[in-house]
Amino acid sequence: MKTAVIVFPGVNCELDVLHAVTALGGEAALVWHRETDLSDFEGVILPGGFAHGDALRTGAIARFSPVMASVAHMAGRGAPVLGICNGWQMLCEAGLIPGAHIANRDLSFICRFEEVEVVDTGSVLTRAANVGQRLRIPLNSYQGAWVDPSGAGRVVMRYVEDPNGSQERAAAVANAAGNVVGVMPHPERATDRLLGSSDGEVLLAGFLESLVTA
Amino acid sequence: MTTTQEPLHRQLGLTDDEHEKVVDLLGRQPEPAELAMYSVMWSEHCSYKSSKHHLGRFPTQAPWVVVGPGENAGVVDIGDGWLAALRIESHNHPSFVEPHQGAATGVGGILRDVFTMGARPIALWDQIRFGPLSEPRNRYLFKGVVSGIAGYGNAVGVPTVGGEIAFDECYSGNPLVNVMCLGLLRREQLVLGTAGEPGSVAVLLGKATGRDGIGGASVLASASFDQASAGLRPSVQVGDPFEEKKLIEACLELYDKDLVLGVQDLGAAGLTCATSEPAGRAGVGMDVDLDAVPARESGMSASELLMSESQERMMAFVSPHLVPEVLATAAKWEVDAAIVGEVKPGNTLTIRHHEKVVAEVPAASLADDAPVYRRPAARPEWLDDLQAIPFDGTGLEPSDTLLALLSDPSIGSTVWAHTQYDHMLFLNTVIGPGSDGSLLRLKGTSKALAVSTDGNGRLCLLDPRIGAARLVYEAAMNVAVTGARPLAVVDNLNLGNPEKPEVMWQLQETIEGISEACEALGVPVVGGNVSLYNETEGVDIHPTPVVGMLGLADPMPADPPRLGRAEAGMEIWEIGPNATDNLSGSAVQRLFGVLGGRPTPPDPETAVESIQLVADLAHRVAVLHDVSDGGLAVALAEICIASGHGAVVDAPNPFSEDPHRALAVFPTGTVAMDAGSARRIGTVGSDRIVINGSGIPLDEATDRWENAVERALTA
């Protein structure tokens, strides 16, 4: 059961995701964005960062990378696909999750721990958590506010206090089937109490479990 | 710049004597491109011509030093096959002219210094100083610098895990922006800035060369400022963190595959430096073809191509048979690469442009034959008067004083700035910004690296030797509170105009102070930067050395002390000597608009003992906090604010900033303290901070401290 961690030029959280997944007993490998064959993998994580320097719009260029057709194909057949921060922005640009992202309400980059609450456990990210469970996870973004005029997005985690103006205080949103999830705070940064929190483990562990059942 | 009637060498910033020296070296009149090359390489910024004579004073040797001063970054051995690379640089003048890009390119430049050595940059620290935020111009500079650091550091993917923010009138016309970077590498990955053997090929990687940053080193960084300086904006480079990120990854892959002989980054003096220095170090010559240099605009002259400080460029020296693989690796990372030269026997650097030789100079002469000045130095005549100014704090109302100090943006929380910086990337940040020292774990080992950067221009104005030495001890104490022992120092010496004897005296005294303290601690100086001409309209800044201290915690404390770990009922102890009533240069003086007296000198023996004791205690206590700006009162308040508990203490001279002191907090009965080196001063508890019977409500203290910067920005 192996997860592909996709590396686009300009992303920077790929090694952290690899570290966190491996520490949880999962298996993962870095995959360059020009690859097209994901047949060795049961799931995909799009890590955070600044793909293509955020040129045009966050995620706007990455969604045309060769690998994205394979990611869409896997998502379409129900495989677990997780986009973290910039990865979520790519999933929105690719149309795999409804909505888009705009700048934080205060027009300022935010890097700090935020408290989020699980509101829906029917997704590959939240399946191991409980509804109402509160988690401390670091936010690290500028274009962090999710907007979705369609109303089709399925909010699975909300901020306890609104940090950035995200619609419905959404911190994580899934597609209707729950196998594709975007999350703005970084669960991989909350996997060690020494660094301030291990609350992200329940999320990543749930994602890894979903590889088996998918 | 001067008028066009001036001879070319003067327009380029060379003196008449320096021009004569070039004529002597070449045995003829230099061509324009040659003059351009000498002007940037012999600038104060690149050649250290005013400070070089004095920098030899620094202790630089230790068994763990792998690379000392003189390379792109210092490198020390931290065990287990790992090396740490560190460097500090200033971008003061560019940040004054254009704060966002000035600070951003300061970050970009220091990163290149570190990954040039073969290291992956893992963390940044920013030391930034401005005039008071009551001035709109200073707000603009402060906000611009913070946004530049955030914009570049976050996007390039290197966390900013600490630093210092301070405000003082003397920086109003001349802000200070110093950036320190730490990198990690395996021992076998070390790369030096050498051109290799004759026959090896010079490959220019990264962004195309443009007209930005022309004359940055000679014009911006090596001359004083006046009202016309805003017109120098074209001399500031423009940063592109995405290009730098790709360049980092491409270079690290080149090192991993062992494809390069040497690497040199293109910073100040651009292509001139990146060809002459590696050739000089290797004792070889080089042929360079400027027509092969990718240019962003057409019609660039040879001088412009040679002087441009366009960012995000690196020069790699490669064996001919490996060139295809180097080009393929660059292409994978979407980094442009061009073969621009070839290493030759002999020692001549030959530059061609449009198929004509435009420069032919001894390669090593650009770096090695730069003038060295022994400028006159003299103790300032005004210093005795300054040191005689009395201030004993008589009549200080302790509660009001503490609240006022906590509201001071130089003391209040840095949260407004540091939550704009990614400070968590790479999953190493055990202790991040807003603490005494940052603590970064070394994954896969039981060790951690600690770093503190410290500056204090007010102390150094009153007595530069005392002030500089105290900074080294303070930085050592700041890494000790995380459980680390001091390992190496990098320094950034920010001073005024070296053509004034009193500034040269300040420089000498600063170097002496740093050297004496480093010797006492047994810590080598492995690199640094000198930034002179920090004066505007003839007024010099306070001498403001910044010390970056690297420490190694081996092992890292299982549960490192944190300010927030204080709990009701815990004992509070003061470690180190008793504070005197000397308030010279203190934050309290600043509150009253006073700067005078002679600060308490450091005591090397006591310093070493206190620092050792604190590093040991880090494995056993809940909280350790260095006593510095604002004295014991502010240190205690910061513990109370972080933990949400008040405290009651009795301690004489609570606002004294006398050195070698720290506060420790722990549960009764868990630590046996030696009464000779520490004394119990109180207990954690209650909702007030009470010092010598005078108290303030904890929630008011918290409000003042947390919002100090934001309120100063909006007042």
* Mode of pairing for the β-strands spanning B160-167 and B120-130: parallel
Mean pLDDT, chain A, integer: 97
Contacts of A53 in chain B (CB under 8 A): 155, 240-243, 245
Cα–Cα nearest to A144, from A171, A120, A125 = A171
To the nearest whole Å, the CA of B247 is away from the closest chain A CA by: 10
- Which amino acid is it at B693? G
Reduce the DSSP state of residue A112 to 3 states and report it.
Answer: strand
Interface of A with B in 138-167 (CB under 8 A): 138, 140, 142
pLDDT in tens, B407-457: 999 999 999 999 999 999 999 999 999 999 999 999 999 999 999 999 999
Max CA-CA distance within chain A?
Answer: 43
Give the pLDDT of residue B231. Answer: 57
Closest of B514, B477, B526, B421 to residue B86, by C-alpha:
B526
- Burial class of residue A108 (count of CB atoms within 10 Å of its CB; 0-12, 13-18, 19+): middle
Furthest-apart CA atoms within chain B: distance in Å: 82
pLDDT, tens digit, 9 for 90 and up, residues A159-214 = 999 999 999 999 999 999 999 999 999 999 999 999 999 999 999 999 999 998 65
Record: contact A138-B155, CB cut-off 8 A:
no
Measured distance between the N- and C-terminal CA atoms of chain B, rounded to whole angstroms:
37
pLDDT for B475 beyond 50: yes
CB contact at 8 A, B303 and B40:
no
Cβ A50–B426 below 8 Å, yes or no?
no
SS3 content of chain B, % helix, strand, coil (to 5): 40, 25, 40
Residue B212 in tokens: 């930005």
From the list B554, B608, B572, the residue with the least C-alpha distance to B439 is B554
Rounded to an integer, what distance in angstroms lies between the CA atom of residue B424 and that of residue B405? 29
**Higher-scoring residue by pLDDT: B215, B584:** B584
Write out chain B residues lying below 8 Å of A140, CB-based. Answer: 154, 422, 424-425
Confidence grade of residue B2 (pLDDT, cut at 50, 70, 90): very low
Q: Which residue has the tokens 């995909």?
A: A44
Beta strands in A65-192 (DSSP E): 81-84, 100-102, 110-118, 134-141, 145-147, 154-159, 170-174, 180-183
Peptide linkage before B555 cis (omega within 30 of 0): yes
Distance of CA B304 to the CA centre of its chain: 29
Partner A contacted by B20 (CB < 8 A): no
List pLDDT tens digits, range A82-127. Answer: 999 999 999 999 999 999 999 999 999 999 999 999 999 999 999 9
Instruction: For tokens 């940053």, name the residue.
Output: B213
Please tell me the distance from the alpha carbon of residue B255 to that of residue A177, in angstroms, as a whole number.
45
* pLDDT score, position B310: 86
The 10s digit of each residue's pLDDT in B648-695 is 999 999 999 999 999 999 999 999 888 788 999 999 999 999 999 999
- Beta strands B662-666 and B544-553, pairing class: unpaired
Report how far residue B598's alpha carbon sits from residue A114's, in angstroms, rounded to the nearest whole number: 46
Residue B441, chain A, CB below 8 Å: the answer is yes
Whether A172 and A183 have beta carbons less than 8 Å apart is answered as yes
Catalytic residues of B: 45, 91
Output B324 or B44, whichever has higher pLDDT. B324
Of B154, B157, B427, the CB nearest to A195: B427
As a whole number, the mean pLDDT across chain B is 94
Q: What is the interface pTM, i.e. ipTM, of the complex?
A: 0.97
Tokens standing for residue A9: 């030029």
**Does the distance separating the beta carbons of B421 and A53 come in below 8 Å?**
no
Q: What percent of chain B has pLDDT over 70?
A: 96
Write out chain B residues lying below 8 Å of A184, CB-based: none
Could you tell me which residues come within 8 angstroms of residue A26 by beta carbon, excluding any fewer than 6 positions away? A1, A3, A204, A208, A211
CA A151/CA B333 separation, integer angstroms? 39
Question: Quick check: A193 contacting B, CB < 8 Å?
Answer: no
B242, B419, B423 member nearest A10 (Cβ):
B242
Is the full-model pTM beyond 0.90? Answer: yes
Say yes or no to pLDDT of B1 above 50: no
Mean pLDDT of B599-618: 97
Res B216: pLDDT: 61
Three-state DSSP class for residue B570: coil
pLDDT per residue as tens digits for the range B339-350: 999 999 999 999
**What value does the mean pLDDT take over residues B594-616?**
97
Q: Which CATH architecture has domain A2-213?
A: 3-Layer(aba) Sandwich (3.40)
Q: Is B154 on the interface with A (CB under 8 A)?
A: yes
CA angle at residue B581 from B575 to B583, to 5 degrees?
100
In this prediction, residue B238 has a pLDDT band, given cuts at 50, 70 and 90, of confident
Give phi and psi for B121, each to the nearest 5.
-65, 125
Strands B429-431 and B348-353: unpaired
Q: With a cut of 80, say whether residue B89 has pLDDT above it.
A: yes
Nearest Cα to Cα of residue B439 among A85, A176, A195: A195
Do the Cβ atoms of B625 and B637 come closer than 8 Å? no
Q: How confident is the model at residue A57 (pLDDT cuts 50, 70, 90)?
A: very high
The whole-number average pLDDT for the span A20-42 is 97
- Interface touch A111/B241, C-beta < 8 Å: no
A52 touches chain B (CB under 8 A): yes
CA distance B56 to B374: 13
**Number of Cα atoms under 13 Å in the Cβ half of residue B225:** 27
Whether B476 shows a pLDDT value over 60: the answer reads yes
Cβ neighbours, 10 Å, residue A132:
9
Mean pLDDT of B239-257: 95
Query: What is the distance between the alpha carbons of residues A141 and A164, in angstroms, rounded to a whole number?
Result: 9
Average pLDDT over residues B190-212: 92
d(CA A158, CA B591): 44
Distance from the Cα of B72 to chain A's closest Cα (Å) equals 24
Name every chain A residue with its beta carbon within 8 A of the beta carbon of B421.
Answer: 109, 111
What percent of the residues of chain A are helix, what percent strand, and what percent coil, each to the nearest 5? 25, 30, 45
Contact A195, B429 (CB under 8 A): yes
First to last CA, chain A: 10
Write down the pLDDT at residue B353.
96
Q: What is the pLDDT of residues B154-189, one digit of tens each?
A: 999 999 999 999 999 999 989 999 999 999 999 999
